[in-house]
């Protein structure tokens, strides 16, 4: 996703735009070239006198990015014209050193390792944003642990839950994503260095020592062997970020549905110019949710591209590798944008607890039918209790009375259940099951992760 896109602020984050900017993309590739020169000299493959000139030229400020982009059209990738420009910059200071630029490496080594450096930055940024989102969700879950609201299945009223357990469900998913990001960061922090066909043949018996020194210089792991045509690492990045984007979309879907005028249980933060309409002054649109949902719509197809690109030919790919270049940054940008949007939405979320309670009562107590049936089952048995309550529900609908009124009016029921027991049947919190315990378990997991 180019940082110059007019809608980039909606669908990405400022931090991710910087990470995948042209400048940073090229600088990460240059970081590889500088570290390569140091590693080669450390293993006596090139003269140490060449390192200073090469490292000094490895600054993006010395690269003509417009010319680089234009030359990539014919070269087939960015590395070839970049090495050409870098060599010219080194030659201007030290003609002998220019002959040692990019020694032993191939274009894919530069591009893949540069991408690994960018992905490491991207995951570090997301780690911080995810931690902040988790804290916000923990606050909501704790504060609303015992706030009753209507649970909905198939988009219809089901049984009472609490808003705390709903927020805890969001938080629990985020905790899993935090764990995935930690594991993923370790797996993708690897060097790519194999030379023309992945054997480092041009370095003779100095290949592995140079690779080891290069990995250390870049603070990357040294893999068992170069992975030019094995793309599971980058595909895993795509799929993990796809999972995270899906969770953010699920949260956004819930909030947007609860923000509908007829429901009015939740609302995005109020701010000047936020969520308005060009024609309707009264509108308060869930714009943050819309951005996250747009990302959740777009990312799956991009993840599919990354999975399809895994089928590489022999030792180096024709088309699959190239398909990754713009796709993976777009996935990261969309995911980061959705993450920042939802963090902002949840941090300022308006929770209308009165409307939550009122919505439970919309069906005149019918949503508490299972609670009544469970109480009666202790006296009548499950089947008979179910049949009686089902009939009582039909009576309530036909007579336009509440289910509580129908229950109280039946002498057979009042002979089995006390007035207090009947009242409890219609208390949403009394039939919220283990909601509070579930919230506590998730909050404990969140505290443990932070410790």
Catalytic residues: 277, 316
Question: Residues 216, 189: contact at Cβ < 8 Å?
Answer: no
Cross-strand pairs, 148:
162
**Rounded-to-integer distance, Cα 389 and Cα 403, Å:** 9
Question: Residues 162, 431: contact at Cβ < 8 Å?
Answer: no
For 432-444, the DSSP string reads -TTHHHHHHHHHH
**Rounded-to-integer distance, Cα 188 and Cα 184, Å:** 6
HSE-CB for 18 with a 13 A CA cutoff: 5
Bridge pairing between strands 148-153 and 156-162: antiparallel
Measured CA angle at 124 (ends 18, 112), to 5 deg: 70
Using left for φ > 0, alpha for ψ between -120 and 50, and beta otherwise, residue 200 falls in left
Question: Residues 338, 291: contact at Cβ < 8 Å?
Answer: yes
Structure-token match 């999972």, residue found: 243
Query: 3-state secondary structure string, 196-213?
Result: CCCCCHHHHHHHHHHHHH
- Which pair of tokens denotes residue 171? 């938080």
Question: Residues 35, 217: contact at Cβ < 8 Å?
Answer: yes
E strands within 288-427?
A: 350-351
**Rounded-to-integer distance, Cα 108 and Cα 434, Å:** 54
For 91-116, the DSSP string reads HTT-HHHHTTTTTT--HHHHHHHHHH
Helix (H, G, I), strand (E, B) or coil at 156: strand
Question: Residues 238, 71: contact at Cβ < 8 Å?
Answer: no
């Amino acid at each position: 996703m180019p940082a110059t896109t007019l809608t980039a602020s909606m669908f990405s984050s400022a931090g991710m735009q910087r990470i995948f900017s042209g400048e940073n993309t090229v600088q990460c590739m240059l970081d590889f070239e500088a570290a390569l020169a140091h590693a080669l000299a450390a293993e006596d493959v090139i003269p140490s006198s060449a390192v200073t000139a090469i490292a000094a030229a490895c600054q993006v400020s010395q690269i003509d990015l417009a010319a680089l982009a234009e030359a990539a059209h014919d070269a087939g990738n960015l590395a070839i014209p970049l090495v050409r420009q870098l060599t010219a910059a080194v030659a201007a200071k030290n003609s002998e050193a220019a002959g040692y630029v990019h020694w032993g490496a191939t274009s894919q080594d530069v591009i893949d390792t540069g991408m690994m450096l960018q992905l490491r930055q991207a995951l570090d940024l997301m780690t911080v944003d995810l931690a902040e989102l988790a804290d916000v969700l923990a606050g909501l879950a704790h504060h609303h642990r015992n706030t009753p609201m209507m649970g909905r299945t198939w988009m219809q009223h089901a049984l009472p839950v609490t808003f705390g357990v709903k927020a805890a469900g969001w938080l629990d998913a985020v905790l899993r994503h935090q764990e995935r990001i930690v594991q993923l960061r370790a797996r993708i922090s690897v060097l790519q260095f194999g030379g023309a066909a992945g054997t480092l043949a041009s370095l003779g018996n100095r290949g592995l020592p140079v690779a080891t020194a290069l990995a250390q210089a870049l603070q990357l792991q040294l893999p068992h062997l170069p992975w030019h045509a094995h793309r599971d690492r980058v595909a895993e990045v795509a799929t993990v970020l796809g999972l995270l984007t899906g969770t953010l979309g699920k949260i956004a879907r819930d909030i947007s549905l609860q923000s509908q005028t007829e429901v009015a249980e939740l609302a995005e933060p109020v701010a000047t110019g936020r969520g308005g309409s060009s024609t309707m002054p009264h509108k308060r649109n869930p714009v943050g949710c819309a951005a996250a949902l747009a990302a959740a719509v777009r990312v799956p197809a991009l993840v599919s591209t990354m999975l399809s690109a895994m089928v590489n030919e022999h030792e180096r790919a024709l088309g699959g590798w190239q398909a990754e270049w713009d796709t993976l940054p777009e996935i990261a940008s969309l995911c980061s944008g959705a993450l920042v949007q939802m963090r902002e939405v949840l941090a300022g979320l308006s929770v209308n607890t009165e409307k939550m309670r009122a919505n439970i009562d919309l069906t005149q107590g019918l949503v508490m039918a299972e609670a009544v049936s469970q109480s009666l089952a202790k006296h009548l048995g499950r089947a008979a209790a179910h049949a009686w309550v089902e009939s009582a529900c039909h009576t309530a609908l036909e007579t336009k009375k509440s289910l509580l009124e129908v229950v109280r009016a039946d002498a057979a029921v009042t002979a089995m259940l006390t007035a207090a027991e009947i009242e409890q049947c219609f208390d949403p919190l009394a039939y919220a099951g283990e909601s509070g315990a579930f919230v506590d378990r998730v909050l404990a997991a969140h505290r443990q992760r932070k410790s």
